[in-house]
Amino acid sequence: MQKNIVLVPFGHIDSSIINHLSQELDFAFQIPVKFKETQVVPRVAFNLHRNQYRANIFLEVLANLNLSDRALGLTDVDLYNNRHDYVFGATDPQRKVALVSIIRLNPGFYKMLEDIKTYYSRITKEAIYELGFLFNLSKCPQEDCVMHPVANIVDLDLKSERFCGNCSIKLKEFLGRE
Ligand SMILES: [Zn+2]
């Protein structure tokens, strides 16, 4: 069951981002990464007053695709939920869907110089973090672990792209049972 990860772009996402991320996810989870055709950004998710999109709607769209794999949606629109002014991503472990917005991961968003290495690293960390919940992992207290929750971009830059020892063992055990 759900042996693969499938990447689902909402709107245009640069193919170099998708290719880089698929390699990183393959490496992190040791399972194949597949691709689904580009989906339309759900207009119903747009909040005119906030000029942002509700993350939950994207998760619903992903769940309704009824993919037999774990799905990771990618979008470049700004996301929020009921509890936060903005979110880098979202996840629904029960329905095996996760989501990342790349807009706030781009150094350009903060008026910083273009920096592909930092940009891609942030996307990798956020994607592994959100997907981790679909593999039975949870928030990790280890500050450098990729499953450590972050509140802002500074914290995201501080943690690594890798699982700590405990999370690695949990993941291996889970994948072995599947
Ligand atoms: Zn950990």
Q: What would the pLDDT profile of 109-134 be if each residue is shown by its tens digit?
A: 999 999 999 999 999 999 999 999 99
pLDDT tens digit sequence for 4-43: 999 999 999 999 999 999 999 999 999 999 999 999 999 9
Given strand 46-47, what is the order of strands in its sheet?
46-47, 52-54, 79-80
- Which structure tokens are listed for 117? 């290495």
| Predicted local confidence at residue 2, as pLDDT | 56
CA distance 18 to 56: 22
CA of 130 to the centre of ligand 1 (A): 13
The domains located in the chain, with CATH, are 5-137 (3.40.390.10)
What are the two backbone dihedrals, phi and then psi, of residue 145, each rounded to the nearest 5 degrees?
A: -75, 145
- pLDDT exceeds 80 at position 178: no
- Which structure tokens are listed for 13? 């996402």
- Catalytic entry in 24, 114, 130, 178: 130
CA of 143 to the centre of ligand 1 (A): 8
- Which structure tokens are listed for 118? 């930092």
pLDDT tens digit sequence for 137-153: 999 999 999 999 999 99
| Predicted local confidence at residue 122, as pLDDT | 98
| Residue 130 annotated among the catalytic residues of the structure | yes
For the entire predicted model, the pTM comes to 0.96
- pLDDT exceeds 60 at position 1: no
- pLDDT exceeds 90 at position 59: yes
CA distance 9 to 3: 20
Cβ proximity of 73 and 58 under 8 Å: yes
CA of 165 to the centre of ligand 1 (A): 7
What is the DSSP pairing of strand 5-10 with strand 70-75? parallel
